[in-house]
Amino acid sequence: MKAEQVLGNKKKDILVQIEQGVERWALAFVGGKDTGNEPKSCFNCPFLYINQKRCQIHGPDIIIDSLIKDGELYTPVCVYQTGGTPRAISDSEVIYNATILGDKKAEITGLEWAKGSGTNCGGFSDGASCEHFIETDSDGIDGVCNLMKKDDNEVDWDDCCDGHEGEAISWKKAQSILVKGK
């Protein structure tokens, strides 16, 4: 039996919702002001333990650090980035408070290493720009996101969400590079 036969009208409803766009909250939208006017990355997230190069959410087995591949900078990003200051604490103060950590968590959170200094809509401050950003001014600063609901899709080039589609390498590849770099 084909999926169309099983889903029936549900498939139509889903396609209509996709055509109308996704609500801002569902894409975990983060404004440029929330990240200190820097591209979205683990380096402006309060879940990062900066001294340990680890994330409170991903756990002790995943190294969180920038890397250079083929002469290009790549920076870690994930869907849980909220904007804020990383935690600079001692090893004895580190707490991993998630029930799922490591490889499985990295898959769930969409952890990847974006080309550049992080991610954002329009390439602000060497961030990896997103293919969903459509400029609406001649300076490339203001625009719309073609993923978001049409009545709430105005964004700036320094904003970002989890719908980001830009050049990146997988977390697994990044880990192999970072471990070799030790």
Alpha helix segments (H runs only) across the chain: 3-7, 9-20, 102-108, 171-180
**pLDDT (tens digit, 9 = 90+) per residue, 39-98?**
889 999 999 999 999 999 999 999 999 999 999 999 999 988 888 899 999 999 999 977
Q: What is the pTM for the complete model shown?
A: 0.79
Q: How far is CA 130 from CA 39, 43, 124, 167, 168, in A?
A: 12, 19, 11, 9, 11
Per the CB < 8 A criterion, the answer to whether 112 and 170 are in contact is yes
Q: What's the count of helices (H) and strands (E) in the chain, helices before strands? A: 4, 9
pLDDT-derived band of residue 173, with 50, 70 and 90 as boundaries?
A: very high
**Residue 88: both structure tokens together:** 């600079």
